[in-house]
Amino acid sequence: MELLNSHPAVAAAIAAFGASFGPSLPAGVRDKFLAAQAGGPVDSAVNVGEALYANRDLITDSDAKSAAMTLAAQCAMWCANPANRFHGLDLPEGPNGIARGVGISWAMQRELGEPAPTGFAWPEAEEDPEARADWAVAEGE
């Protein structure tokens, strides 16, 4: 998976996802995706990654789901990068002590069927970071 390496690259990826797949997202997921883009570029990167991670199971279009999981992984890893350290996504979380953003990225890569780096195994799903409730679509939403 190619990693994003700048604010403009993250913003462009978010905009491209919205233009290409926004219309095919379920209404509640689309609303969360649009709300996640409010604020500055850091907030947008953090919140889009969290919103797509929290709602990936609600996306039924296979191309949109694959793109959403890729974008969630890219945003989470960009925010967890030690050079950025945005919104605590670089802080250890969960039973394996892995940074939240890294855990989200690894979970998405595993679910996409990408091979783990040589000499490494993806953590089990039970070790994935919990989805943030504030970005999850509520039942009936």
Give the CA count within 13 Å in the CB-facing half-sphere of 87: 19
Residue 27 to residue 98: CA distance in whole angstroms: 32
In 3-state terms, what secondary structure has residue 39? coil
Is-contact 24 64, C-beta < 8 A? yes
Residue 66 to residue 87: CA distance in whole angstroms: 25
Q: For each of the chain's 141 residues, which pLDDT tens digit applies? A: 677 888 899 999 999 999 999 999 999 999 999 999 998 989 999 999 999 999 999 999 999 999 999 999 999 998 888 888 878 888 887 667 789 999 999 999 999 999 999 999 999 999 999 999 999 999 877
* Residue ranges covered by each domain of the chain: 7-129
What is the pTM (predicted TM-score) of this model?
A: 0.92
Give the CA count within 13 Å in the CB-facing half-sphere of 45: 29
The set of residues, in sequence order, having a beta carbon less than 8 Å from that of 20 and lying 6+ positions away, is: 67
Residue in this structure with the two tokens 């926004």, named with its chain if needed: 22
